[in-house]
Amino acid sequence: MVTNAAADDYAALNQGQLKNFVRGAVDEMNAKLPGGAGTALNNLVAGWRANAGTADDFAAANVGQLKAMGKLVRARLVELNLSVPPLGTATTDDDDNFGEPGTLRQDKHR
């Protein structure tokens, strides 16, 4: 159902949501880029599909996991010589990768 309510972008991100974002990016890359998403990303998604019955997709995803997935997607775009903006900020004091849960907002902006 589509509503006019604002999205709760600060809600905690779970593993299944993170996988769905990455899966969507891989599907889009496969459809529109020469050479598609590449071996690493396609194998990652295939592994998720193969283990779907045992995965805990409702477990929280942390910032480190979110960054790792973003890094894989970004690496493929760089490999294809596409222009991609730099990741993160100059300040590294806030780079606590595993101590905090990721949010939907962070996932949308990776």
pLDDT tens-digit profile of 21-67? 999 999 999 999 999 999 999 999 999 999 888 889 998 888 888 88
How many alpha carbons lie under 13 Å from residue 2 in its C-beta half-sphere?
Answer: 0
The label of the residue with tokens 């509503």 reads 3
pLDDT tens-digit profile of 60-92? 888 888 888 988 999 999 999 998 877 666 666
Banded model confidence at residue 16, pLDDT cuts 50, 70, 90: very high
Burial class (CB in 10 A: 0-12, 13-18, 19+), 36: middle
Q: What is the pLDDT of residue 40?
A: 95
